[in-house]
Structure 1
Amino acid sequence: MLRSTSAKTLVFRRYQTTSYTFQRIPTLEDIRTNGSNFSGLFSNKAVKQLWFDRGNELVKNLNQAMAQTNTVLDREYSFAALAELSMNNPELAEVYKNASSSTSLIYFFSSIRPLSKRQDKAIRRVGYEEMFKTPGDGFGNKPKDPALVDWINQSFGSVRELRNLIINSARGLKGDGTVWLVAESTMSEEFLNKSTFTNPMYHNLALVNTYNGTMISDGERSGQVKRMKDLLAKLQREEENNARRKDAYKARQEQEIKVEEEEGEKKAEVEDAKEKPTDTSDLQLGTVEKAEFDVAFLNKRLIPLLAIDASPRNYLIDYGVFGKQAYLENVWECIDWEVVSRRLPPRAKQVITM
């Protein structure tokens, strides 16, 4: 489970070094040992390049970045926690990049499993003619956990609709990107701290896209929409104030022509008004409803349940340049719904939603 740790900071004392190694997934280790394919999705060559080679390269780059910045941790952190700790520090950009990419890679491969021999499909390269075909609507892999199915139905309408949304969202990603299925809390930690509730309440499932190897981070995105709305409102107020100052300046110039003896004093007033505009709008109190919104519905928690890597490197090896649709359809068939169910937080049905 990924949780926000943004309140903590990295320690820059050289008394202990930390070296990361990449995670081992038994199923993928067996594939490498046996020289077999990831049934229904990847060839052995693709598994080697996408998991083993890329994973080891990311960890190598991460360790180098930490050594170059003299980064020392006060304790052992997961890749996800390390990424959250470093995301707001420009000096640790390479640490964040490699830790975040490692997290996304692990989440993707731990969310899927090979098909059985009975279910196995041939992995084939797709030609340009595939672009003119209507995508198939049939699929076999469906979650069996009643709680998960009910949650999906409540959030998306049906499992079929969730599949369509995931595939279409992934198809729309250009370049390196991941589609995440997440559980979203309905109220912020700030609100919970002031209420009788002690833990976030999760009510809704949602899809979130990330780009360039970045992972899901509720600490990074919390309140972004409101901050952008507030910034836009402030810019609009500044434009209105500038227009009023220009009108006032023009009127004063006309007055100065008529009253030359007061020219020096009035010019000083104009320059002072231009340099120090008066804006009292920020001092005005908002409504009770706005205050409740600010407190109750910001900084929501997100728990990632499933990651679908839609990057070109994942389908070019086995499916070719026209094979993204075929790759995504095969990914769906390989989703391990038992893993997704284990990641589900406790669900709260009777809650306030927006």
Structure 2
Amino acid sequence: MTTPATGRTGAAPRVRRGVIDVHAHWLPEELFGLPPGSPVPPLNARGGELHLGDVPLSIAASAMSDPARVLAETDRAGLGARVLSAPPFAFPVVADPGVAEYVGRFNEALTRLCRDSDGRLLGLGLVSLHDPAAARDEMKAIAASAVVRGVAVPPLVGATSFDEGPLHEVARVAAELGLAVLVHPMQLPRPEWGSYYLANLVGNPTETATAIASCVLGGLTERLPSLRICFVHGGGCAPALLGRWRHGWERRADVAAGTGRTPDEGFRDLWFDTLTHDGPALRLLRSKADPDRLLCGSDHPFDMGVDRPQDLPVAEGIGAGALEAAARRFLDLPEPGSDDHA
């Protein structure tokens, strides 16, 4: 039965009680070849360790692909449930005739895994970023699923973000269908970030801040008020830049051309995970964001992730109950009932 408020056609699943980690990654081994036309080399497992081409990722291959291990590590982390999405190098960022098949295979495998998890796993699917008609069909199929609650996308596609182009169209359809959107950076290479893992340590927060700027200065949530869109890694460096954006919006016509709302107002429409690795950074995020839109995120199983993602926000005064409630709203899940798992 269609839900009038959101357009979803799939019934909400029964999800185990407890903190929900909205930011974790999974990819079945049969899709390690990555999408057709991928700009990065395929994944492979050597001696049980995951490699991207010849580059070791310091991740056990089974941690990325084995359902039993994913479930065991979800339980070990003390979580109620975990939301799985593809690792960013599996995003189909290049137009290729084979992308739709890859997306379909991933979404089908993700659905099976989550459906068989006894309320411990949910999913965010892939979408064909360069084919609007295919993307709409894929997102309609996701809206009919109980266990796949939205889509995961990169912050940039070519030279565009959420104010125009493919990502804006994905956001528009997601808002129409009531799907959650999770935005994960791709660690795009740049020569000046070639050492010290700076493509991740500096590049990821910068990619995310660029996408957030496109949302708040482009008036995305003003145009799509029902959109639920989450930025991981605590919003990257965006919380520290809001004052600068506000000053530019007040002083420059080109900065203010996209919206009549201040960057601060637009920022409070967005959702963020709490994976900041630092208490003061989380306090800054909390002071700028809507505190009811902060979500638990682990980045499991990457080396920049954490084993118990709830510990930092709880230590900073964001209760486990608040984290669970926020995730349920983001994922359009009902409040837990008496028949849910304890």
Please confirm whether the aligned pair reaches a TM-score higher than 0.5, indicating the same fold: no
Q: Determine which structure has more spread, i.e. the larger CA radius of gyration.
A: 1
Give the TM-score normalised by structure 1: 0.25
Higher relative contact order (CA 8 A, sep 6+): 1
* Structure in which a larger fraction of residues adopt strand: 2
* Structure in which a larger fraction of residues adopt helix: 1
